[in-house]
Amino acid sequence: MGHRFTREQVYEMVWTRPRNAIAKEFGVSDTAIRKLCDRGDIPAPSHGHWLRRDLGRPVPRPPLPIRLPGHARYLRLGESGSYQEIYWRERDCLFDVIEPEVFEEAVEDQVEVAVRRIGVIRHRRELDNPHPALARVLRDEAERRSLKDVPDGWHWKKPRFDSPIHQRQLKLFNSLAHALGEVFPRCSVQVDEEHQPGVGMRHDLRLWVTADSTWTMDLRILEPGVQRRGVRCKVSTTTLEIPVYTEGAEPLYWVDTVGNRLERQLESIVRGVLREAERRLRQAAVSNYERRREHRQAQLAEIARRHREAQERELAAQAALQKQRRDRILRLARESQQAQEVRALVEIVRGQFGRDPETLVLLEEWSKDALALADQLDPARRSIHDLIG
């Protein structure tokens, strides 16, 4: 079972207690607490902080910085799995109050803090020092270039991104990954493969960015005259797009223009990515709130259904018990009437044949059996427990 904290709670913990004491309390390592602070951009005491404090020396405590755009307000400790897996594991208790998450930070303030952290955003003209996000793609391209005896013409072993268009995309994504990597811990360049009739297999690049499993964002570069899967409209010039997959939101575009190519718009692109990351995080929080409300309503509906079915079963059981008692009383009444009729029959037979000495012995035996039957039928001769059942 994991634990969930706000950034403020983690900040207060690490500045009031040593990390090893916190780690021992929650059953994790000291490194896990340090990584928790790193994920939440929370300043933590340096080595020797508690010794200096115990010696009475001044120990400055830096303020908690504003939350970076796209970074969750809540931090999880000792819990693994994707956002969806964690959500389905931590079903809300019926007594929990479901409230929408409140974001007090101004988006533009968050963006400014992130831009200051990134520093100078420059275009990297070479790929000699690539960001780790490009490592797999460039390593694969190097392996392809090293192959020998590759036939002329198209071949699946040949390098895929040697064209000027793809080289430019790699350099743009490398520049963006170096900048965005200062804010988002997960950046990766992936290859899209698509077979187009009459063209063959197309390979396109896409830059994926995320801070956690709550949201993801991809950036792709569209070229004029080149159709790509999932692109809504054609472009007349090179365009960098951030697709939006939620209803009601529009994708973001940056377009090559004369004197203002994409390489000169990197800061604008980075700011747009930061704003979009925060928008997606807040949208995910709204979706999570709505999902929790729907789940709560489903819980209450299920409880109401079970309660209704239990009441129906109870009423049916009471009705069955009532019918059983009614049938038993009517049966006892019939048996009582039958016993009276048998006794009356005995009196009639005795009155008619009781004077004949020849039949007196037979009559007495018959009367004895008949009265015994009447006693068996008569409910009045039974105990109260037998009558009530």
Please report the pLDDT score of residue 181 as a whole number. 93
pLDDT exceeds cutoff 80 at 307:
yes
Phi-psi region of 203 (alpha: psi -120 to 50; beta: other; left: phi over 0): beta
The CA–CA distances, whole Å, from 123 to 97, 131, 170, 263, 265 equal 49, 13, 11, 6, 10
Looking at per-residue pLDDT, the higher value among 265 and 90 belongs to 265
Residue 244: predicted pLDDT: 86
Rounded Cα distance, 358 and 336, in Å: 33
pLDDT digits (tens, 9 = 90+) for 59-78: 889 999 999 999 988 888 87
SS3 of residue 285 by DSSP:
helix
At 151, the amino acid letter reads P
The string of pLDDT tens digits covering residues 83-128 is: 444 444 455 567 778 888 889 899 999 999 999 999 999 999 998 8
The predicted model gives 8-32 an average pLDDT of: 91
Q: What is the mean pLDDT of residues 269-275?
A: 96
What are the structure tokens assigned to 277, written together?
């990351």
Q: What is the pLDDT of residue 42?
A: 92
Q: What is the pLDDT of residue 15?
A: 94
Q: What is the pLDDT of residue 66?
A: 94
Higher-confidence residue: 20 or 97? 20
The confidence score (pLDDT) of residue 231 equals 58
Mean pLDDT of all residues belonging to the chain: 86
Is 281 in contact with 71 (CB distance < 8 Å)? yes
Higher-confidence position of 150 and 99: 99
Residue in the structure block whose two tokens are 């090893």 = 20
**Domain boundaries in the chain?**
3-89, 107-292
Its pTM surpasses 0.85 = no
User: Best-predicted range by mean pLDDT among 158-162, 176-180, 189-193?
Assistant: 176-180
Distance set, CA 120 to CA 116, 132, 178, 274, 350 (Å): 8, 19, 11, 15, 127
Three-state DSSP class for 233? coil
CA atoms of 36 and 244, how far apart (whole Å): 30
Specify the pLDDT at position 260.
93
Q: What is the pLDDT of residue 177?
A: 95
Q: Are the beta carbons of 114 and 69 closer than 8 angstroms?
A: yes
Which whole number is the average pLDDT over 19-34? 90
Closest CA to 125 of 171, 180, 164: 171
CA 320 from chain center: how many Å? Answer: 46
What does the block give as tokens for 53?
């404090």
Q: Return the SS3 of 193.
A: strand
Poorest-pLDDT segment among 13-27, 150-164, 172-186, 346-360: 150-164
Length of the chain: 389
**Residue 158: pLDDT band with limits 50, 70, 90:** confident
Of 238, 271, 244, nearest to 257 by C-alpha is 238
Evaluated on CA atoms 153, 158, 159, 160, the torsion sign reads positive
For residue 384, pLDDT beyond 90: no
Dihedral angle sign, alpha carbons of residues 359, 361, 363, 365: negative
Residues 44-63: b if buried by 16+ CB within 10 A, e if exposed? bbeeebeeeeeeeeebeeee
CB within 8 Å of 220: residues ≥ 6 apart: 192, 204, 205, 206, 207, 228, 240, 241, 243
The pLDDT assigned to 88 comes to: 45
Dist CA 173 CA 309 (whole Å)? 60
Confidence of residue 80 (pLDDT cuts 50, 70, 90): low
Q: How far is CA 276 from CA 56, 122, 283, 289, in A?
A: 46, 21, 10, 20
Q: Taking residues 244-265, what's their average pLDDT?
A: 88
% of the chain at pLDDT higher than 90: 44
Predicted confidence at residue 156, as pLDDT, reads: 67
Question: Is the pLDDT assigned to residue 319 strictly greater than 80?
Answer: yes
What integer pLDDT is reported at residue 84 of this predicted model?
Answer: 47
Residue 388 vs residues 181, 327, 348, 378: alpha-carbon distances, Å: 83, 12, 33, 14
- Quick one: 374 exposed, middle or buried, by C-beta within 10 A (0-12, 13-18, 19+)? buried
| 217-221: average pLDDT | 92
Which of 207, 208, 211 has the alpha carbon at shortest distance from 67?
211
Residue 262: is its pLDDT beyond 50?
A: yes
Task: Check: CB of residue 206 under 8 Å from CB of residue 213.
Answer: no
Most confident of 7-11, 241-245, 292-296, 350-354: 7-11
Element (H, E) at 255: strand 252-255
How far is the C-alpha of 66 from the C-alpha of 14, rounded, in Å? 17
